[in-house]
């Protein structure tokens, strides 16, 4: 059932219902898929590859935030030196490609220019079906780059293309994006603690 399915008269009632749906959505994400995603990201970090991320709208903000979590957080107290780039943050390239070629190519054009064997791609899309996301995922797949997709709703085409699909079983954009944001934090924090000396973990903030 879609949320909200009725009008709410008080924000506290809306919030309680939202949080209940959010908890259900968090629990819907497959743990083995999360482990596979963490393994891919850690392997790329160890080998010096680049992780590319991309998304539209709110998902673009998550793609950009992911850069900070991996370049700064994951590197702190570990021997990893992550290299990560958000294809959603390059406004000059995005507008040039969108204006001169097509908006559907804003991510795949950058990937073709920058990606190399040993890199990986994370796509973030609630629908999983945005054409610019699908084209990037398809190119990465065809060129040997592991693809991790974060999706919601029915998963869309990017869920089918991806090597690992972190799917959120929800039908509200805010809830899906909240879970994607949590997954972004979980992946970075898990990789960091896995590469830290155990004695340091309880002394540090995450």
SS3 (DSSP) at 184: helix
Q: Are 180 and 37 in contact (CB under 8 A)?
A: no
Number of helices (H), then strands (E), belonging to the chain: the values are: 9, 5
Give pLDDT tens digits for 12-30: 999 999 999 999 999 999 9
Enumerate domains of the chain plus CATH numbers: 30-201 (3.40.50.10490)
CA-CA-CA-CA torsion for 34, 36, 39, 43, nearest 10 degrees? -130
| Contact partners, residue 11, CB within 8 Å, separation at least 6 | none
The structure tokens listed for 151 are 């999706």
Give pLDDT tens digits for 100-156: 999 999 999 999 999 999 999 999 999 999 999 999 999 999 999 999 999 999 999
Under the banding of pLDDT at 50, 70 and 90, the label for residue 202 is confident
């Amino acid at each position: 059932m879609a949320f909200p399915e009725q009008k709410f008269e008080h924000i506290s009632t809306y919030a309680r219902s939202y949080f209940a749906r959010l908890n259900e959505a968090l629990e819907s994400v497959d743990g083995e898929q999360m482990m596979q995603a963490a393994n891919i990201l850690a392997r790329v970090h160890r080998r010096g590859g680049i992780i590319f991320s991309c998304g539209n709208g709110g998902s673009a903000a998550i793609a950009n935030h992911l850069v900070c979590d991996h370049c700064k957080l994951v590197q702190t107290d570990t021997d990893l030196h992550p290299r990560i780039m958000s294809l959603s943050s390059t406004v000059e390239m995005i507008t040039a490609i969108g204006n001169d070629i097509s908006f559907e190519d804003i991510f795949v054009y950058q990937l073709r220019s920058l990606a190399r064997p040993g890199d990986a791609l994370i796509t973030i899309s609630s629908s999983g079906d945005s054409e610019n996301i699908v084209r990037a995922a398809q190119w990465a797949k065809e060129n040997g780059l592991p693809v991790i997709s974060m999706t919601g709703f029915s998963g869309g085409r990017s869920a089918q293309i991806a090597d690992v699909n972190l799917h959120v079983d929800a039908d509200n954009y805010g809830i899906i994006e909240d879970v994607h944001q949590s997954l972004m934090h979980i992946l970075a924090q898990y990789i960091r603690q896995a590469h830290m000396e155990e004695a340091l973990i309880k002394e540090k903030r995450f």
